[in-house]
Amino acid sequence: MRSRSFSAVIGAALVVAAALAPAAASAAESGPSPWSPYQSADFEVPAGELCAFGLRGEIVSDKERYRVAETYPDGSTRLEEWTGQLVIRYVNTDTGAAVERNLTGRGDFEYYPDGSWSLTAVGGHFGAGLHPGDEPQQGFYVVTGSQYVLHSDADGHRTLTSGHGTMENLCETLS
């Protein structure tokens, strides 16, 4: 069963798989599973992958949690809800320039049978790394608002669709 960490997309902007084992019957028969805590990890992305410089993320505060809200008939996760506090310090590893961003918010991950997934910002903040060839363009974006959608095709191509709020490209901010 696949699961993506809201914070992994947020903080590391890397595809991270976490093995979760919710009982399909409990999610399907009794509603969403109970909330489970999640702790993000610091990360470092090499120069050229997201920004022209290396980008490091240092977790400042993390009180995230998630739950499986819906499953497919085979028991695999269809929808996860993520919420909680996440504050990250982003550092340009070439210059040492740093900014701290509050990524606290709520997002829903929807997993599709073809291996693709979508993260919809329900409200608050999230971050997303876009690689060369992704849309709108390569960078690391901090989004504030709602109705932003980060979609990843089964092949890993990502598209970030604008919603209501603002988008900041940290590659530009930290240049």
Closest CA to 154 of 21, 12, 24, 2: 2
pLDDT given at position 30: 59
pLDDT surpasses 90 at 3 = no
Per-residue model confidence as pLDDT tens digits over 94-113:
999 999 999 999 999 999 99
- Ordered by start, the domain boundaries in the chain are 6-173
Segment 147-162 mean pLDDT: 94
Average pLDDT taken over every residue of the chain: 85
Q: Are strands 77-92 and 55-71 parallel, antiparallel or unpaired?
A: antiparallel
Per-residue model confidence as pLDDT tens digits over 21-69:
333 334 445 578 999 999 999 999 999 999 999 999 999 999 999 999 9
Is 10 or 16 the better-scoring residue by pLDDT? 10
Closest CA to 119 of 146, 94, 96, 95: 146
Categorize the per-residue pLDDT at 82 as very low, low, confident or very high, splitting at 50, 70 and 90: very high
pLDDT given at position 147: 87
